[in-house]
Each structure stands twice: as structure tokens, then as C-alpha cells.
Structure 1
Amino acid sequence: MNKLNSILAVTLLAITFTSCKKDDEPVLVIPPSDGSILTLNAEAAIGTGAANSVFVDLSADEQTKVLRTSWTLGFYSGSDFKVILNNTAGATAKRIEKTDLNAVTAADFVQSEVALDLMNPNVNEFVKIDDPRESSILNKTAIAAVSAIESENKVYLVSPSGGTHTSVITAETVYKVRILRKGDGYALQYAKLNETTFKTIDIRKDVTYNFGFVSLDEGKAVTVEPQKHQWDLVWSWSIYFGGGGAYPYGFSDVVFINSLGGTQAGEVLSSTISYDDFAAANIASVTFSGARNAIGDKWRSTQPATGITARFYVIKDASGNVYKLKFVSMGVGGDGGERGKPVIEYKLIKKG
């Protein structure tokens, strides 16, 4: 480098450092969106099940699509040590009363104990999945809370797709897993059922996210949800429930709110007040819920296939912004939409 270039490099370096924000300078605050119309890129897969889960951040007008089969286990980043299964891929689990992963073999596998029978459903099937009837995804998980006492943490057989209509569950498709605490995080031991050695993945807790995620098929940690304060709701296919909670059921177009991130939602019937007329003065009449399934499947009807029902929702995000939100089309009931590309409309009615 010649002398002139050296002088220029030093000058540019000095400019870079002196342009850093000072402590007394104001932080740039981006105002929340006034609202928008979004076409969600859920993408139709086989039949009516969307290929993607789509996370929506109303205040940023952003959507994040994630292949819903891209992960198997989610590790909670909060104070509890809990692990969730991927209901959006139909993942299932069966506890084995052993603590040695290598001692678990194909002899421990019973197909009916791992596969979720969606053709002949009954209430006893809920033990194989994270119970979708609960207000929180953490309330009743198929995998028990991870104990600080290592000997209490048993081995589980996990099928990444045990609860789908198209999956074929055999010993070759099932994993054996054992989860331990490691510091303030987790250690995941896993192997295919017939393997005699196992691998370990360490998962640290990152409090900016609700969960850390792992794909057993990929054998690594993967990114799924946006940061916990950067999404409000997610649209997906998922194992949900039918018959008023009598049995697990594979639902297309189900919507969950970010309850762990502080989102709340309330339902308003259009017969009471129209979406267009609803304003900030009407917020007090809304009963907000922090339940994950505050929206769920109530917004639409596919059996009978009449499509979008006569209601809309009021969403309060973690920053206190309040939006009214309606579903515009979904490709059912002659609404002019496309299955797998639902359209939502929302408007800010109160800034947080």
C-alpha cells in the first residue's frame, strides 16, 4: 500500500468511528404501520394443506414464510425448561421408560403408539402431541418438562410426521431423543431408532425468541419464528382439534396469535358492528384473550365450504398498538381468492 492509500485508509477509518451514535443522541423510532392488505405466501401443497407457516408482523407490514416441515422440536427460551413438538408438521412423541438412549431399539417401537390416527380419531390420541386445546402451547406438552435431576429425563420416540394423512410411520422413520439441561440451556441427544450411537446438539436460550428450533432430519438448529416481538400471528396447516375437542384433527388455514410474545386478540361479530365502522371508541367493548387459539379456525368454514365467516378481529400487540383485522379471501366459497394465498386486511386504530 503506498503512502497516499495509507492516508486515505486511516481517514476513512476515522470517519467510520466518529460517525457512531453518541449516548445522548435520540434513538430512531419507526412508527407502526397504519395498516395494509397482505397476500400471505402460504402456498398450496397436496390437497388444501399450506406448505408454509406464515408469520405476520402487523406494525411492520412484514410476513415471514417458513416451510412448516423444516423443524421438529422447539426449546423454550423462557424460565421453564419445556420442549414442544411441531404440530404444523404432525410431529408425535411416545415416552419410553429408559434413560439410556442406546438401550432403546426397534423392540421399543409400537407403530400405533407413535402414529396419530386421524382416520379413526378419539380423545386418547391427544397424549401423542402437544395438546392444541390448551390456551398455551406450553400447558400440556407430549414431552415432559426437562428436569434438573438428570435421571428423571426419559427417552422419547419422535416421529417428525406421525400425525399427517400421508405419512408412513415405520421404525426407520422414527428418532429416539433424550433432552437434558445444560447450564441455562439444553442438550439434545438423538439418533435414528436402529442406530447404536447418538449425536448431541446444544441449544442455548436466547430470550429475544420464544423458542430455539431443531430439525432432527437435518441434524441441526434451524431458524423458524422471527424474534418474539416481531410477529403477531401465524397462519398454517396444523394438528388442531375437532368435535368440540373430542379428537385431534388436521386443520388447514388455522391462525394462532403470538401469546408468548404478548399479543392478544378479540373477536367481533359483523352483525354487531361492521369492520369499516369499528374505531378506537369501540375497543372498550372488546374482550381480549391471550389464548394462542383466540382466532384459531373460527374465522372460516370449510365444512360446509362457505368460506370466511361474518366476523373480524381486534389485535393488540406487545407494544400496545391496536389493529382491526379481517380476512378477505382464502379460495373457498366463491370469494375470488386462491387457496394457499390468503388475503388479510388490517388497520391501526390505536397507537401504543
Structure 2
Amino acid sequence: MLSGCLAEDTPLQLPPPGPEETFQADLGSGYGDQVYFDFSTGQATVRDRESWDLGFYCGPDSFYVVLNGAKRMYAADPQTEDFASVTSRAGLAFRPDPPSGLLDSTVLGRWWTRATDAPVFVIDRGQKTSGLPIGTKKIQLRRAGHQVVLRYADLNGAGEDSLRITQDPLYNLMFFSFEDGGQLVEVEPPKTDWDVVFTTYTHIFEDQPDPAFRFYLVNGVLLNRHATVATDSIPARQQPFASLTLEQVPAYAFTAQLDVIGFDWKTFDMATNQYTVHDDWSYLVRTAENHYYKLQFLSFYNDAGDRGYPLIRYQRL
């Protein structure tokens, strides 16, 4: 009897899609810049990719340290806490952090959980935009409550100094540069103010035995590790960009892997020395605001024919 008095279910009304928009990132001369982009505002923040070396994670109860993959940085673990005893790169195995962003797979890993109180690492600072090597440092890390004490110097001990780094929960990372004696620098916007970054980064080609080709600088897009997730490429034969809708989102698998969009939305032709963009591929992105966007790459060149200007089309679903 009561069922006859209940109101009929109201159909769920999906929000209307946003307007279709475009954005072109300018990676600068020699791909020297990193461009942080926010889909909801269309705003971009540009940073020099050489401006930082180490990123100190601001997540709760974690003290990960990441390398600047945009400079092809490496690190090695000499398995000691004797800072003075580390004076050479000889015999050390250097490797980069994975571009996936998996923190437990970083070279320095969960250093604060080791039996040794203050492990030492050797840092290859990678290369300048020009390709010239930057140099080598040694560091020692020590946890002090919710802070990290960073000790650093040249391998011969010159320029030794230390810095206490405090986590800021408004950011993914606190960024440190060895330049000018060592200092914290501003790089990423607050973690809720951007979604993806257009950047050079180090990709690992697992099938290449030569480190010069195995650890290779590429130009692509990485996700914001805070809350952004995305799909791998969706070919037009599977679903054209124009017909991707919010109702279709559950059919696709999303991942927090930072390089899921990556660099292979374009290919390089050695014969013509030109990049070709797969403009028939689409991607879905879910932002920290829980909004879904579809995006498509249209070009890697500006109107003057200069490379390093990825152009995307995007729309909120």
C-alpha cells in the first residue's frame, strides 16, 4: 500500500559538457621549460627544467626523495653512512627514477626505514639543456621528526653544507637545487592547482643494454601525482574524440601512473627529421576536482614550424 505513495525516481541529470578548448605549451629553446597546466582554469605555470635537482615528498609519514628526470639525473647507493668516505663514483651503479612515479621504486626509496640512521647517496646531476654534464654531489639524509636534514657536498668534500627541509601539505614536493650553495626553490604550483605537466623526462627503454639509449630523454606529458588519473590512448577506430561522452567513462581503465599519457602520442621520422602526432588518439583524464576531460594532441609545432610546442584540444565531459 505504501509503495503507491512513493514518488517515482527522478532520472539522474548529468551536467552539460564544457566548451571545446585548445592549449599550446611552449617548452622553450631546447625544450628547456616545464609547463604545468590546469584544465579547469586553462592557466599554465612555466618553470626552467634546470631549476631543481631533488624533490622532497610531502605525503604523510613518508620522506621519499625524487630526482629531476628532466635533466636525466641518476643516483647511486654506496651502502654507507660514512659521509667522508665517499669520494668517488668508481664502482657505483647509477640509475634514474622510473617515470611511472612509483615512489617505492625510486633510487633512494624508503631510505628513512633503513637500519642505518643516515644513509649516503651519490647524485649525478644530469645534463643541461645544451647537453653538457652538470656534475656530481654526495648527500646524506637524516629524519628529524617531520623534517629531513639534507647534508651535501662535492665528492672531495668541498662546499659541504646542510639544510633542514619541512614538508608542506599544500604541495606534492619541496624542491631543492644545489646551485648557489644549495637552496629550496619554487617549482610546482600547489598540488590542487594543476593537472598535467608538459616536460622533458627520462624514459627507460628496458630492451636497450647501452645506458646512453636505455635511459633516454623524451618530451611528453606527466600527471600530477596528487590525484590526477588518466587512460592510455584511445584510438579513433575504438572511439572517436567527438563521440567520447561522460556516460562512456566507466568502460575505460584509469591509472595514476604518471607517464600513462607519456611521449608516444607522436612519432619521429629519421628520414624527414619531423615529428608526426597521432591526432586520431584520445585520452581521458580525471582531475582532483573529480571532473573528467577528454584530450587529443593536434601538433608538436608552432605556426613558424618550430618543434617543442605541443598543441592539445580538450573538453570537460
Task: Indicate yes or no: 2:110 matched with 1:145.
Answer: yes
Task: Indicate yes or no: 2:148 matched with 1:186.
Answer: yes
Cα distance change, pair 197–314 in 1 and its aligned pair in 2 (3 A): closer
Higher gyration radius (CA): 1
The answer on whether the counterparts of 1:178 and 1:190 sit within 8 Å (CA) in structure 2 is yes
TM-score (norm 1): 0.75
TM-score (norm 2): 0.82
Counterpart Cα distance in 1 of 2:285 and 2:105: 25
Task: Indicate yes or no: 2:257 matched with 1:291.
Answer: yes
Q: Name the amino acid aligned to 1:240.
A: H
Structure 2 counterparts to residues 1-352 of structure 1, below 5 A:
34=19, 36-45=21-30, 50-78=31-59, 79-105=61-87, 108-110=88-90, 113=92, 128-132=95-99, 135-147=100-112, 151-161=116-126, 166-168=131-133, 173-195=135-157, 198-218=160-180, 219-242=182-205, 248-258=214-224, 260-266=225-231, 267-303=233-269, 305=274, 307-309=276-278, 310-331=280-301, 338-349=306-317
The answer on whether the counterparts of 1:314 and 1:323 sit within 8 Å (CA) in structure 2 is yes
Residue 44 of structure 1 and its aligned partner are, at CA, apart by 3.0
Cα distance change, pair 323–158 in 1 and its aligned pair in 2 (3 A): same
Cα distance change, pair 73–67 in 1 and its aligned pair in 2 (3 A): same
Cα distance change, pair 325–244 in 1 and its aligned pair in 2 (3 A): farther
Return 282-291 or 198-207, whichever deviates more: 282-291
Give the 4+ runs in structure 1 shifted more than 6 A: none
Q: Name the amino acid aligned to 2:96.
A: I
Q: Which runs of 5+ in 2 are unaligned?
A: 1-16
Q: Name the amino acid aligned to 1:210.
A: N
Q: Name the amino acid aligned to 1:230.
A: D
The answer on whether the counterparts of 1:33 and 1:61 sit within 8 Å (CA) in structure 2 is no
The answer on whether the counterparts of 2:172 and 2:190 sit within 8 Å (CA) in structure 1 is yes
Residue 311 of structure 1 and its aligned partner are, at CA, apart by 0.5
Counterpart Cα distance in 2 of 1:275 and 1:199: 53
Of Structure 1 and Structure 2, the greater helix share is in 1
Counterpart Cα distance in 1 of 2:159 and 2:207: 44
CA RMSD, aligned part only?
Answer: 2.7
Counterpart Cα distance in 1 of 2:66 and 2:288: 23
Cα distance change, pair 243–92 in 1 and its aligned pair in 2 (3 A): closer
Counterpart Cα distance in 2 of 1:244 and 1:324: 32
Residue 39 of structure 1 and its aligned partner are, at CA, apart by 1.5
Q: Name the amino acid aligned to 1:89.
A: K
Does the residue aligned with 1:147 lie in a helix, a strand or coil? helix
Q: Which runs of 5+ in 1 are unaligned?
A: 1-31, 115-126
Counterpart Cα distance in 2 of 1:33 and 1:57: 15
Counterpart Cα distance in 1 of 2:127 and 2:92: 10
Does the residue aligned with 2:77 lie in a helix, a strand or coil? strand
Give the fraction of aligned pairs with identical amino acids, expressed as a percent. 25
Residue 94 of structure 1 and its aligned partner are, at CA, apart by 1.7
Cα distance change, pair 59–193 in 1 and its aligned pair in 2 (3 A): same
Q: How many residue pairs were aligned? A: 291
